[in-house]
Amino acid sequence: MKTKKVLLLPFLIIFTCLLSCRETPKPTQKISSIETPSGTISFLSNRDGNFEIYTMTADGKNIKNLSNNNATDYGNSWSPDGKQLVFYSDRDGNKELYFMNADGTDQINISKHPANEYVPSWSPDGHKIVFTSDRDHSSREIYVMNTDGSKVTRLTHDEDYNESPSWSPDRSQIIFTKQLKDPNDPSHASNGEIFIMDSDGKNEKRLTHKKGYDSGAVFSPNGKKIAFYGLSEQDQWDLFLMDANGDNLINLTNDSAEDYSPSWSPDGQWIAFTSGHPKQYDVWIIHLSTNKKLRLTKDPTRNQNPVWRPQ
């Protein structure tokens, strides 16, 4: 009798375990991991004493100073093939547009004009550069030219301050910021709104109608969305998304930091941007479907204006 109990004991233990497992099944969990995207991001930093153009991989590593000049270098934009950048610099006494290769070599002045040129953006077909300049007006206007500096054409003709032009993916339109006069104080331009026009300057249309200054607008790679920065209802600088026609405006970041200068990843899944406070600005990226944010720079200086390199 004692022997039978001993023999049955292992089977009773196994049977009990099976029942226990059936009664309390473990829930299945789907773990989704958002990995850091691949690619290269250019950005501005004064970590070496003055503003220079740097590149890093999209995980914040392999940082390299490309412009490496004693002057201020600013406002970079990639060529569609990712082999060159256009930027502006005051190294020749006034702000001019320059090209350089993706490794920082062969830096050449392409504007060669006594006025000041700012914030260039390379067209998606690689043939033109849109930029702002004060060459014909004390307030900045928007111009376009060929990549060799020829055929400079003025696109805006008004008394308003215009800035931050960039192209639609099909290069048929240009989106930009226009500073509007306060009707109660015509001497002061306090409101910046996002406008869009055809690439020849025609059919100008206002897209945003919100308080405060909105700027830095850029199209998503598929042309369906526009990202920009502006003031929230709580008077905080945040990133916003809207449809290409200005509809369905949403606050993307909605935090206490100052967020600005968005740039889309080539696959449209991430946006790189500047975030921080006056004592410390850094480059961050945000994943659009999860709102997961990753900080890429941590150097105790200004790190800002990221631009994703085309793939």
- Average pLDDT (6-34) is 39
Six-digit token string for 159: 């008394």
Per-residue pLDDT reduced to its tens digit, 125-162 = 999 999 999 999 878 999 999 999 999 999 999 888 99
Q: How many CA atoms lie within 13 A of 154 on its CB side?
A: 12
Weakest-pLDDT range from 17-21, 35-39, 54-58: 17-21
3-state class (DSSP) for residue 143: strand
Least confident of 156-165, 253-262, 267-276: 156-165
pLDDT reported for residue 165: 98
Q: What is the pLDDT of residue 139?
A: 83
Express as a percent the part of the chain with pLDDT over 70.
86
pLDDT of residue 137: 81
pLDDT at 23: 37
Taking the domains of the chain in order of start, what are their residue ranges?
Answer: 38-68+258-311
Q: Spell 100-121 as b/e; 16+ CB within 10 A means b.
A: bebebeebeebbebeebbbbbb
Which are the contacts of 259, defined by CB distance < 8 A and separation ≥ 6?
Answer: 229, 237, 238, 239, 253, 273, 274, 275
CB-CB contact of 8 with 15 (8 Å): no
Which residue has 């004390």 as its token pair?
138
Q: Decide the pairing of beta strands 96-101 and 108-109.
A: antiparallel
